[in-house]
Amino acid sequence: MEKKVQEQAEDNNLKTHFESRYLSERIDFLQEYDFVKDESNFEYFKSFIFDFELTKNDWYNSLIINLADELNIVHNSFYKRYLNYLTNRKYYLFRLSILDYFANNHIFYKKIYRQKDFEIIKNSRNLKRIVKNQVIVNDLIFDLKNKRIYIDELKKSYRVTQDYKSHIRLYNYIMNFELDEIISKTDLNYLVETTQNKKLGRAVDLKLLEFANYFNGK
């Protein structure tokens, strides 16, 4: 099977770009190619992701995690491996790509998740606030029975969060995962008011307007 997959990739010249000796070419290809539509090479991509070892370039590493997410490639072994990546690599976009992967595939990984799995990340020194906030959101998605803990953590953390991207990320997650079904209206209003009072700019104002339309339209 592996040989057939390899030959298939080579036949259409895809492998030349996907496994180029130049990381810059690999990165361009990962950002431009429509992997979801290329069903004929799914097994090749899957095999590559299973065998993937981190490079020194964490932007490239992030794109590979994003590809696994995009193609819905999940496996029990990925859980521990990606948790280790979270602790061993510091680049915040790489960490966010892993947290997004876990959140988007939480139904599969929920059976493996333990409450303290992300604690070492959440409590690590010099952690970017945007990553810490995403860890809290992930805990909320995975561990609904302790939602009060995580909602209170979110409220406390966003009081000191000045990164506008983190605020936008929060409302995207609330809408995409329908977290308004588990976060009370009182708590949502608190979060919105916290964001509004920070006056973080037009992008955040537009996101709050989008969120208001989403919430009022339900």
- Span 23-64, pLDDT tens digits: 999 999 999 999 999 999 999 999 999 999 999 999 999 999
The pLDDT value recorded for residue 152 is 98
The band of 12, judged by pLDDT with boundaries at 50, 70 and 90, is: low
Residue 36 DSSP label: T
* pTM (two decimals): 0.91
Lowest pLDDT segment from 56-65, 110-119, 164-173: 110-119
What amino acid is encoded at 39 in this protein? Answer: E
- Please compute the mean of the pLDDT values over residues 155-168 and round it to a whole number: 98
pLDDT at 7 over 60: no
pLDDT at 8 over 90: no
The band of 217, judged by pLDDT with boundaries at 50, 70 and 90, is: confident
Best CA proximity match to 33, nearest among 71, 88, 82: 71
Residue 52 DSSP label: -
> What's the mean per-residue pLDDT of the chain?
93
Q: Between residues 126 and 18, which one has the greater pLDDT?
A: 18
CA distance 103 to 177: 9
Residues 6 or more apart in contact with residue 185 via CB below 8 angstroms: none
- Please compute the mean of the pLDDT values over residues 99-104 and round it to a whole number: 98
CA distance 12 to 35: 14
Tell me the HSE value of 182 on the side-chain side, using a 13 A CA sphere. Answer: 20
Residues 6 or more apart in contact with residue 154 via CB below 8 angstroms: 133, 136, 137, 140, 170, 191
Q: Where are the domains of the chain?
A: 114-218
The band of 5, judged by pLDDT with boundaries at 50, 70 and 90, is: very low
The band of 115, judged by pLDDT with boundaries at 50, 70 and 90, is: confident
Helices 185-198 and 147-159 sit at what angle, rounded to 10 degrees?
Answer: 20
Burial class (CB in 10 A: 0-12, 13-18, 19+), 9: buried
Alpha helix (H) ranges present in the chain?
Answer: 2-11, 14-18, 23-32, 42-51, 58-70, 76-88, 92-104, 106-109, 119-122, 129-142, 147-159, 164-176, 185-198, 202-216
The band of 163, judged by pLDDT with boundaries at 50, 70 and 90, is: very high
- Residue bearing tokens 């794109």: 63
- Please compute the mean of the pLDDT values over residues 204-209 and round it to a whole number: 98
- Please compute the mean of the pLDDT values over residues 120-126 and round it to a whole number: 85
The pLDDT value recorded for residue 13 is 82
Tell me the HSE value of 158 on the side-chain side, using a 13 A CA sphere. Answer: 31
pLDDT at 69 over 60: yes
- Please compute the mean of the pLDDT values over residues 60-84 and round it to a whole number: 97
Q: Are 127 and 89 in contact (CB under 8 A)?
A: no
